[in-house]
Amino acid sequence: MSVELTEEGTSRFVQTKSWKLHHNEAGEGHPVILLHGSGAGATGWSNFRPNIGPLSEKFRAIAWDAPGWGKSDSAPSDQYDHPAAVIELMDELGIEKAALVGNSMGGMIALAVAARWPDRVSHLITMGPGSFLELPTLFGAGDGPSEGLKILFEGYRNPTPEVMKKLVDIMAFSPEFATDELAKLRSDSALSRPDHLENFLQGMAAGRGPVSKPATPAEVRSIKAPALLIHGRDDRVVHFEHSLRLVSMIDDSRLVLLNRCGHWAQIEHADEFNRLVADFVENN
């Protein structure tokens, strides 16, 4: 039976060299660090609520709020180095080596960490990341952002529960996961930190995306950690073509493509996702 956890009961703060970072933590064993995606109101807890408890039964599960999100510090976007911030968090928590599990933006952060600090990453697991290999942006086959990214950006400009309901609806394949509760959770989180919203919008206006210092194609090709790439076939935010690129570039990698699944594989297929992650970390 899964461990029943609460946000408040798992909430922790740590001061690193550069940031005061918030994270949710539970369990013991090999560290598994969960890196959330982008979007107004995104947090480690909102992104990984169905996963922290089950994973904490076997591992030390840590879901961070990245700098610029949740309860963590904010700054102008040109001051962020999210991959380095992961290493700072690990250093402060006494973690020498960890499995990184990243959704969307978090997956792109995980790719950069695995490439730049290979001795610190035992396993690499991504869900719906942009590849940034041959494409300079997350744009699809057309000339602009994907359907999901348009709503994601609108959430920063107008983070009401109504807009957030559109956001969570487009993130998931099945409407049963686009709940009013999750929309309100995202809206409340976004509205509680106007500094995060302002810094993100200013960064976008200056041409900076949500991911600071993403991995280059050469860096992705250098990754040696065993990698599990999970992607929803029905992802309307980041097309699964990005994970097809990644699996062709990372030597020790495999791809799980899930039908009837959107951008949030860890939420829509939580039980299967938790089994895949646990088996992969234990046996690779």
Closest to 168 measured CA to CA, from 39, 3, 43, 30: 39
The yes-or-no answer on residue 263 being catalytic is: yes
Could you give the maximum distance between any two Cα atoms of the chain, in Å? 48
Closest to 74 measured CA to CA, from 19, 34, 152, 12: 19
> 22, 36, 263, 269: which is the annotated catalytic residue?
263
Rg of the chain over Cα atoms, rounded to whole angstroms, equals 17
Strand duo 31-35 + 98-103: pairing? parallel
89 three-state secondary structure: helix
Strand duo 121-127 + 98-103: pairing? parallel
Task: End-to-end CA distance of the chain: give it in Å, rounded.
Answer: 25
Reading the block at residue 113, the tokens are 């960490």
Q: Half-sphere exposure (CA, 13 Å, Cβ side) for 218?
A: 0
What angle is formed at CA 266 by the lines to CA 115 and CA 54, rounded to 5 degrees? 100
CA distance 265 to 238: 12
Closest to 114 measured CA to CA, from 265, 216, 207, 206: 216
Which sequence positions are flagged as catalytic?
Answer: 263
